């Protein structure tokens, strides 16, 4: 497969810059992966697409204020995006600067913290924060919400609320699991009362989610590692559903990747893990039957994932339909419910 196989034309006007006035007011495009049939609807209709006994899997990660600014000792400006807090004083970080800082050099952050560059591995630097506050405290007090690069405004008060899911619990992500942004608490209550089993897992979305695929041959791409954890109750609920023939719906590609990464011998295992799982067409899904997701960037690994799930031709047709019907795309955009394409 070539990268160009996952390209499509998207007018800039369809890239959502702000969220819908209310969470559930987004639109919902439903794709039947087996037939290719499409139907237009509203996200508020989601309960009609569910039935008692379905398992709905949410990613409860919480976006942290992972963007910091400062200067090199030479005076050049730097922008830091914290990928992962390693311990109280150390972090793995992406650095944007005119010239990447060398190991042993220092950065002076605008908040007053002094940071030493320890080492570099590919696109990430290991930094030590030489401050009274630890990394997490510096981020919480002085960091900025890391909105995606295709959103053209600086974070505002509305973003502080709406770029988090209503069920976000565990801090650690640098990007929101955006399929979950459409849910409000009344809808979750409505789903529970209708007999849908709602369970959670955690996958901390890393800075690699913003990185473009830079290879022509898709097979040459390597995913960044992301941490996840499957609670025992979640593993038990999903294993029971699969034994009993009940459907499992992943809310977001992050939930799907965590679930598919945690399967051993046909059973979903509980506990922590790390995943570099790269899902492309031809992948055989072991856990998930249905995927609720947003519309993804051209030439992205997430577009490859949904193409594997719903069928390459079906997804191409669905995205053409969505553009023609002027759906809103990406993080603050509309949603898509995909039924898995049957594999012969």
pLDDT digits (tens, 9 = 90+) for 49-73: 999 999 999 999 999 999 999 999 8
Q: Where are any strands of DSSP class E within 148-298?
A: 170-173, 197-203, 226-230, 248-251, 263-264, 267-268, 271-275, 290-294
What residues contact residue 297 under an 8 Å CB cut-off, 6+ apart? 150, 303, 330
3-state class (DSSP) for residue 170: strand
Phi, psi (5° rounding) for residue 93?
Answer: -140, 145
The two three-digit tokens of residue 225, written as one number: 């590692």
Q: State the Cα–Cα distance between residues 15 and 203, nearest whole angstrom.
A: 25
Task: Answer yes or no: are the C-beta atoms of 145 and 163 closer than 8 Å.
Answer: yes
Q: Is residue 210 pLDDT above 80, yes or no?
A: no
Q: Residue 188: how many CA atoms within 13 Å on its side-chain side?
A: 17
What residues contact residue 196 under an 8 Å CB cut-off, 6+ apart? 47, 50, 51, 52, 53, 54, 55, 56
Phi, psi (5° rounding) for residue 165?
Answer: -75, 160
Q: Using only the alpha carbons of the chain, give its radius of gyration.
A: 20
- Residue 262 has a pLDDT of 98
Q: How much of the chain exceeds pLDDT 90, in percent?
A: 91
Q: State the Cα–Cα distance between residues 10 and 31, nearest whole angstrom.
A: 20
- Residue 206 has a pLDDT of 87
Sign of the CA dihedral 249, 240, 246, 288? positive
Q: Name the percent of the chain in helix, strand, coil, to the closest 5.
A: 30, 30, 40
- Residue 57 has a pLDDT of 98
- Residue 285 has a pLDDT of 97
Domains of the chain, by residue range, sit at 3-63+159-339, 67-142
Mean pLDDT of 123-144: 92
The two three-digit tokens of residue 2, written as one number: 């070539």
Q: pLDDT tens across 275-288, in order?
A: 999 999 999 999 99
Q: What mean pLDDT value characterizes the chain?
A: 95
Question: 344: pLDDT confidence band, cut at 50, 70 and 90?
Answer: low
**CA nearest neighbour of 68 among 85, 60, 80, 78:** 80
Secondary structure (DSSP) of 212-244: PP--SBGGG--PPPEEEEE-HHHHHHHHHHHHT
**CA nearest neighbour of 198 among 175, 176, 166:** 166
Q: Is residue 126 pLDDT above 70, yes or no?
A: yes
Task: Answer yes or no: are the C-beta atoms of 311 and 35 closer than 8 Å.
Answer: no
Mean pLDDT of 5-18: 97
Q: pLDDT tens across 306-339, in order?
A: 999 999 999 999 999 999 999 999 999 999 999 9
- Residue 277 has a pLDDT of 95
Statement: 67-142 belongs to CATH 2.40.10.240: yes
Unique residue bearing structure tokens 């400062």 = 70
Domains 3-63+159-339 and 67-142 alike in fold:
no
- Look at the domain 3-63+159-339 and name its fold: QueA-like (3.40.1780)
**CA nearest neighbour of 193 among 56, 41, 27:** 56
């Amino acid at each position: 497969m070539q990268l160009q196989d996952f390209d499509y034309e998207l007018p800039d006007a369809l890239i959502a810059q702000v969220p819908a006035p209310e969470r559930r007011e987004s639109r919902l495009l439903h794709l039947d992966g087996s037939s290719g049939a499409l139907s237009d609807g509203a996200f508020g209709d989601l309960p009609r697409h569910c039935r008692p006994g379905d398992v709905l899997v949410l990613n409860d990660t919480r976006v942290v204020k992972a963007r910091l600014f400062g200067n090199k000792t030479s005076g050049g400006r730097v922008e830091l995006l914290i990928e992962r807090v390693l311990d109280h004083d150390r972090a793995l970080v992406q650095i944007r600067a005119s010239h990447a800082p060398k190991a042993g050099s220092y950065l002076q952050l605008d908040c007053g913290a002094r940071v030493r560059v320890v080492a570099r591995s590919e696109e990430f630097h290991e930094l030590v924060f030489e401050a009274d506050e630890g990394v997490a405290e510096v981020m919480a007090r002085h960091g900025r919400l890391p909105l995606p690069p295709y959103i053209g405004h600086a974070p505002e008060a509305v973003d502080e609320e709406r770029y988090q899911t209503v069920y976000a619990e565990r801090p650690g992500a640098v990007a929101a699991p955006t399929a979950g942004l459409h849910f409000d608490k009344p809808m979750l209550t409505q789903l529970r009362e209708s007999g849908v089993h709602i369970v959670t897992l955690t996958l901390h979305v890393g800075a690699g989610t913003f990185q473009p695929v830079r290879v022509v041959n898709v097979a040459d791409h390597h995913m960044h590692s992301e941490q996840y954890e499957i609670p025992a109750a979640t593993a038990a609920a999903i294993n029971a559903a699969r034994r009993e023939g009940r459907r499992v719906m992943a809310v977001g590609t992050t939930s799907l990747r965590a679930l598919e990464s945690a399967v051993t011998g046909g059973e979903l295992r509980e506990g922590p893990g790390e995943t570099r799982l790269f899902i492309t067409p031809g992948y055989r899904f072991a856990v998930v039957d249905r995927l609720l997701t947003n519309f993804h960037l051209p030439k992205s690994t997430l577009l490859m994932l949904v193409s594997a799930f719903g069928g390459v031709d079906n997804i191409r047709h669905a995205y053409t339909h969505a553009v023609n019907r002027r759906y809103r795309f990406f993080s603050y955009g509309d949603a898509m419910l995909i039924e898995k394409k049957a594999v012969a």
